[in-house]
Amino acid sequence: MAAEEFLRDLLKEMEEHMQKSLEATRRELSTIRTGRANPSLLDRVEVDYFGSRLLINQVANLSAPEPRMIVISPWDKKALPALERAIMKSDLGLTPNNDGSVIRLNIPQLTEERRLQMTKVVGRKIEEGKVSVRNIRRESIEDLRTLKKEGEIAEDEEKRTEEAVQKVTDRFIYELDVAHRAKEAELMEV
């Protein structure tokens, strides 16, 4: 009975790790610039604010009132120059327009060449996510084989659990493929 409980826990823990890997990949994808305004583009931009390094969403409200514009409304107007500098230093390639109370970022249409470059970046991020999921699968199968060697579980339990591990892995790989297709479609949308 203890072996069955352990195998259930192993599968549950593996699934939790794979879910975290999937979520991390989706977060990475959300920061990739498409032709559409999305406040999550600025999620990794850090601002020097009174001697502290803070994420931009910790010092300002971000919104996308139009399909090609992000508006940054700082909670303290004195933060405007620091916000502007942080955006200029970032790798986004966006020029901030400061009107004294808010910063507007116009999101230009992506060129065909840039879209193709971005789809390659998306492909790399998805592949990193898949590698992470496969590593989690490998570790789980190694744990199973160790249990079998120690005589904790029978061979048929090991095989049954390995099949369950593969089914869970396949499900997360499929989720990553879905995220890949969705992001590529978003990138190629004109």
Q: CA-CA distance, 45 to 84, in Å (whole number)?
A: 11
pLDDT of residue 126: 95
Q: Clarify whether residues 115 and 184 are in a common domain.
A: yes
Q: CA-CA distance, 14 to 99, in Å (whole number)?
A: 50
Last residue of a domain, one of 81, 106, 131: 106
Q: Which amino acid is at 187?
A: L
Nearest residue to 30 (alpha-carbon basis) of 186, 138, 149, 160: 186
Q: Structure pTM? A: 0.71
Q: Clarify whether residues 133 and 179 are in a common domain.
A: yes
The segments of the chain whose pLDDT lies below 70 read 1-2, 33, 35, 190
pLDDT of residue 46: 87
pLDDT of residue 190: 60
Q: CA-CA distance, 72 to 55, in Å (whole number)?
A: 13
Q: Clarify whether residues 116 and 156 are in a common domain.
A: yes
- Can you give the residue range of the structural domain that contains 148? 2-31+111-188
Determine if residue 112 is left, alpha or beta; phi over 0 gives left, psi from -120 to 50 gives alpha, anything else beta: alpha
Last residue of a domain, one of 89, 106, 123: 106
Q: CA-CA distance, 78 to 94, in Å (whole number)?
A: 21
